[in-house]
């Protein structure tokens, strides 16, 4: 077991070295995530201040904390390993990985873990900025444990979903459209731009002012309610909203927390089984470019 870990951790170490071989790229990513948080901070601050500091029973401080903690969760859990797999498939290098006496699945996971370990250094300034800008509060030990468990689940789900997209690129060689689809769905249904509870609150109470005159309040209410329901059908909210909501109190109470953790556990099992099924299909019908 220890020998197996050492064998695959070599790939993880390579990921760390690769990341810090390009220090400017790591710095740019840190700046990008920070700027994204600051943009959301000022936009939502304006929205809340125009509504006397409260927006659908959510306070400005709570939502600003949600944005900041969400940045930390994204840094810890986000996985783009499907781009690595797609690149290996596209240039034919995956053929060498498949014939070596190693598990391709474990190789990719080890590289992902190594990448995340490398990002821990980038996380330090992000955490400082988040708590300085948003004033996010510390939480009770129980809430922090639930948050930490949810982050671990989010990390696993994000990796499994990314790996699933990756093995689909054995069939879909032009993967850029798949990448854009994943980004678009994640933005809408993960809670990154608008927290999921706001979808339901607009669906229940409508909007006081609608910037598009030809849209009725009933249509807007139904549309946002539908967005909320779809968010819980897809796995994206389990990668972002669930851990962030638990920490900031948007998800509170034993029943709500248990329900969201259960959803995360469900997606882990479902994606794992789906990956095993798709991987068997891929091995039976595989085309390697350049291989």
Instruction: Give the residue with greater pLDDT, 285 vs 87.
Output: 87
**pLDDT on residue 216:** 65
pLDDT tens by residue, 118-169: 777 777 777 777 777 666 677 888 999 999 999 999 999 999 999 898 888 8
| Residues paired with 54 in a beta bridge | 59
How does 18-42 read in b/e, with b if 16+ C-beta sit within 10 Å? Answer: ebeeeeeebeeebeebbeebeebbe
**pLDDT on residue 128:** 78
pLDDT tens by residue, 69-114: 888 888 888 888 887 777 777 766 676 767 777 777 788 888 888 8
pLDDT tens by residue, 176-211: 788 888 888 998 999 988 899 988 888 776 665 555
In SS3 terms, 175-197 reads as CHHHHHHHHHHHHHHCCCCCCHH
Instruction: Give the residue with greater pLDDT, 7 vs 269.
Output: 269
DSSP letter (8 states) at residue 208: S
**Cα distance from N-terminal residue to C-terminal residue, the chain:** 32
Cβ-based neighbour number of residue 109 at 10 Å: 19
**Lowest-pLDDT choice from 22-36, 149-163, 244-258:** 22-36
| Average pLDDT of span 280-288 | 72
pLDDT for 244 beyond 80: yes
Q: How buried is residue 127: exposed, middle or buried, by Cβ count under 10 Å (0-12/13-18/19+)? A: middle
């Amino acid at each position: 077991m220890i020998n197996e870990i050492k064998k695959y951790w070599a790939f993880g170490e390579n990921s760390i070295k690769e990341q810090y071989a390009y220090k400017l790229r790591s710095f740019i990513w840190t700046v990008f995530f920070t700027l994204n948080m600051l943009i959301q901070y000022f936009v939502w601050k304006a929205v809340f201040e125009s509504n006397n500091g409260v927006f659908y029973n959510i306070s400005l401080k709570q939502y600003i904390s949600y944005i900041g903690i969400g940045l930390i969760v994204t840094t810890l859990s986000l996985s783009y390993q499907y781009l690595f797999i797609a690149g290996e498939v596209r240039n034919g290098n995956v053929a060498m990985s498949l014939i070596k006496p190693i598990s391709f699945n474990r190789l990719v996971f080890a590289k992902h873990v190594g990448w995340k370990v490398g990002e821990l250094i980038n996380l330090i300034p992000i955490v400082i900025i988040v708590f300085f800008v948003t004033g996010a509060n510390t939480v009770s030990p129980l809430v922090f444990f639930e948050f930490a468990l949810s982050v671990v689940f989010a990390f696993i789900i994000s990796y499994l979903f990314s790996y699933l997209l990756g093995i689909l690129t054995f069939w879909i060689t032009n993967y850029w459209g798949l990448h854009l689809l994943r980004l678009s769905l994640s933005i809408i249904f993960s809670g990154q731009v608008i927290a999921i509870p706001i979808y339901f609150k607009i669906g229940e109470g409508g909007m006081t002012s609608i910037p598009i005159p030809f849209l009725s309040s009933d249509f807007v209410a139904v549309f946002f309610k539908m967005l909320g329901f779809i968010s819980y059908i897809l796995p994206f909210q389990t990668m972002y909203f669930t851990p962030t909501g638990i920490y900031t109190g948007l998800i509170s109470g034993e029943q709500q927390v248990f329900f969201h953790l259960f959803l995360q556990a469900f997606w882990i099992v479902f994606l794992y089984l789906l990956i095993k099924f798709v991987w068997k299909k891929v091995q039976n019908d595989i085309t390697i470019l350049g291989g």
